[in-house]
């Protein structure tokens, strides 16, 4: 299994190899989607990250969307693991991670589309 920079940070924050070897225990039922997204983050350029963050801050209902994503993540994996999972290189990436963790509890994903058409 390929391990992304964000996955390594996540495991370091949890102080152990189990988060690297058994991410499903820490990231919930959508763990594969989270890991694939984290691998994708490693491919982004600085310009891509700037563009994504501009899109993120342009969202009109940003606080509501962040709260929904965060609630879905913490309801799925608990506050401790949800907090450990937010170490991405972009503001939007933090909430995509939360959305993906709790995607089965959300009607739609609002932050993930910010990463399309770069």
pLDDT in tens, 74-92: 999 999 999 998 888 888 9
Beta strand segments in the chain, E: none
Q: Quick check: helix, strand or coil at residue 118?
A: coil
Does residue 43 contact residue 34 with C-beta atoms inside 8 Å? no
Per-residue pLDDT of the chain in tens (118 residues, 90 and over written 9): 789 999 999 999 998 789 999 999 999 999 999 999 999 999 999 999 999 999 999 998 999 999 999 999 999 999 999 999 888 888 899 999 999 999 999 999 999 999 999 8
Domain positions in the chain: 5-115
């Amino acid at each position: 299994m390929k391990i992304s920079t964000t996955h390594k940070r996540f495991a370091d924050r949890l102080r152990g190899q189990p988060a690297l070897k058994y991410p499903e225990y820490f990231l919930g039922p959508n763990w594969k989607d989270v890991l694939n997204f984290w691998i994708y983050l490693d491919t982004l350029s600085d310009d891509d990250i700037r563009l994504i963050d501009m899109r993120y801050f342009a969202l009109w209902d940003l606080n509501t969307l962040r709260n929904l994503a965060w609630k879905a993540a913490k309801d799925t994996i608990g506050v401790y693991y949800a907090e450990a999972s937010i170490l991405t290189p972009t503001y939007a990436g933090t909430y995509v991670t939360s959305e993906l963790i709790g995607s089965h509890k959300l009607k739609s994903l609002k932050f993930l589309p910010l990463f399309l058409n770069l």
